[in-house]
Amino acid sequence: MRICVTTKADLFELRKRQHTERGFRIEDERPKPVNDLCSFVAVREMPIQDPIAELVGQALNGKRE
């Protein structure tokens, strides 16, 4: 998942820290403000979900949705 985050210049470091704490990796930082706005890209690798394995696991555990 990639998120482009645009924020006011004075909140730039805070927003980067918040995203890092939530497990995102920061890329493509643009710390120099343009019209008082800075940006960065926050990236988090999402695990690949296998729907077949999930259904088999539910069947083995007796769970139904």
**For 11-54, how does the pLDDT look when each residue is reduced to its tens digit (9 = 90+)?**
999 999 999 999 999 999 999 999 999 999 999 987 767 777 77
pLDDT-derived band at 61 (thresholds 50, 70, 90) equals confident
C-alpha distances (whole Å) from 50 to each of 18, 33, 36, 42, 43 are 30, 42, 43, 25, 21
Domain count along the chain: 1
Whole-number pLDDT of residue 46: 75
- For tokens 């069947």, the residue is 59
Query: The domain containing residue 25 runs over which residues?
Result: 2-61
- Residue 62, helix vs strand vs coil: coil
* CA distance linking residue 51 with residue 14, whole number of Å: 37
Question: 31: closest CA among 65, 8, 54?
Answer: 8
- Confirm if 23 and 56 have CB atoms less than 8 A apart: no
